[in-house]
Amino acid sequence: MAADRSPFIHRRWPYYPPPRLIFWTAVFAALIVFLVFHSPPPDAPPDRRPTAAWGGQGWERRVLASARPRSNSPSHAAGRGHLSVLVTGAAGFVGSHVSLALKHRGDGVVGLDNFNNYYDPSLKRARRRNLDRAGVFVVEGDINDAALLSKLFDIVAFTHVMHLAAQAGVRYAMKNPASYVHSNIAGLVGIFEACKSANPQPSIVWASSSSVYGLNSKVPFSEKDQTDKPASLYAATKKAGEEIAHTYNHIYGLSITGLRFFTVYGPWGRPDMAYYFFTKDILKGKPISIFEGPNHVSVARDFTYIDDIVRGCVASIDTAQESTGSGGKKKGAAQLRVFNLGNTSPVPVSKLVNILEKLLKTRANINVLPIPRNGDVVYTHANISYAMRELHYKPTTDLQTGLKKFVHWYLDFYSGNAKWVP
């Protein structure tokens, strides 16, 4: 009888299933386990689902280890408690330097960066290797990913957020305006949203820009001056960021410090900036353009060396008061500050090129062109008395000294020998 041949009847326990059944059951179980551990949290909206780049137990362990401050950190010794800082844009120029400075003095640091290709991402990856070696884990993700930010704040009670991720570059805003809105407006709001909901709320220090002074002609630029004439979309998004900061401070009690950086340069810098691509082009014998203002006025910048900027950033963290809200509710007035971080010593771009020529021992092939109408301003000069008073900020590196360090790094880096020299 066919029924008698069936393996499933007339059997008594203990029952030993055939090997093929065991195999398929195991495959099925493994599939279920995989789906459970890789599916998004049920409340995550579909467009905010975690990507393969973050999540999982191993990832969380790395975040936690990176966020842990050293028990004998100077911040703790100075009575500021243990600091755990989320640094956005950590694989960027300023972000990588600030992350290392904080880590070296014993603070916990977690980096966040989307490694976009605005400029050569291999430079960002090289910076990330430096950070890895120092024990800073850089999460690969976007500041617009609300689920990722909320996850990071679930895992770590960050005391501070150093928000340096942005779409940089004044002239590129003509080519890709949407990227400025995405990063500098939507991304900033995303960061403030995550911070206001966090419990405890962190204090925030973020990068504004000297470009907010726009078409102002009164120099040096003071934080008290009006900033309602931005000359580029980049400047307009940074100015908008300052206003948005006011709103989040006012409604939610977030402690927020904005830093107006003045043309930051140095080792591990940004290849889209003039000093960097002038170096590259001079070495290649390619012509470079030096812009000049109306009536042949020299275009000049208050070039500021990276180490001075890092000291200003760290001092901003150390003097930031705590946010006053919790669970999205304000409990009292909170600190709101804006500082100029410049060098207070503007240098014409033609002088910068002279210094590079001497350092590179190569004559530049120069075209002098009228300044294009694409967002550039003729002159920047920071008044830094407020930062000197509140942050004890005091820039110490002149352009000659700073460019020497940059050129030294540049030659090493592109011959494959660059080591991190803080």
Residues labelled catalytic: 234
Question: Which CB atom, from 169 or from 241, has the smaller least distance to ligand UGB?
Answer: 169
Question: Which CB atom, from 150 or from 209, has the smaller least distance to ligand UGB?
Answer: 209
> How far apart, in whole angstroms, are the C-alpha atoms of residue 338 and residue 205?
10
CB of 396 to ligand UGB, least distance (A): 19
Counting Cβ atoms within 10 Å, is residue 134 exposed (0-12), middle (13-18) or buried (19+)? middle
Stretch 253-312 residues interacting with ligand UGB (CB under 6 A): 261-263, 273-274, 289-291, 299, 301
Question: Which CB atom, from 273 or from 359, has the smaller least distance to ligand UGB?
Answer: 273
What count of other Cβ atoms lies within 10 Å of the Cβ of residue 48? 16
CB of 71 to ligand UGB, least distance (A): 37
Indicate the pairing of strand 160-163 with strand 84-88.
parallel
Q: Are 340 and 260 in contact (CB under 8 A)?
A: yes
Question: Which CB atom, from 39 or from 374, has the smaller least distance to ligand UGB?
Answer: 374
CB of 267 to ligand UGB, least distance (A): 15
Stretch 167-206 residues interacting with ligand UGB (CB under 6 A): 168-170
- In the bound complex, which residue of the shown chain has the CB atom lying closest to ligand UGB? 209
CB of 44 to ligand UGB, least distance (A): 33
Binding mask 109-148 for ligand UGB (x = CB under 6 A): ----------------------------------------
Stretch 365-384 residues interacting with ligand UGB (CB under 6 A): 376
How big is the chain, counted in residues?
A: 422
The reply to whether 349 sits near ligand UGB by the rule CB under 6 A is yes
Question: Which CB atom, from 144 or from 209, has the smaller least distance to ligand UGB?
Answer: 209
CB of 398 to ligand UGB, least distance (A): 17
> Using the rule CB under 6 A, which residue among 66, 184, 209, 340 binds ligand UGB?
209
Question: Which CB atom, from 59 or from 386, has the smaller least distance to ligand UGB?
Answer: 386
* Look-up of token digits 């779409």: 167
CB of 366 to ligand UGB, least distance (A): 10
Residues near ligand UGB (CB under 6 A): 168-170, 209-211, 261-263, 273-274, 289-291, 299, 301, 349, 376
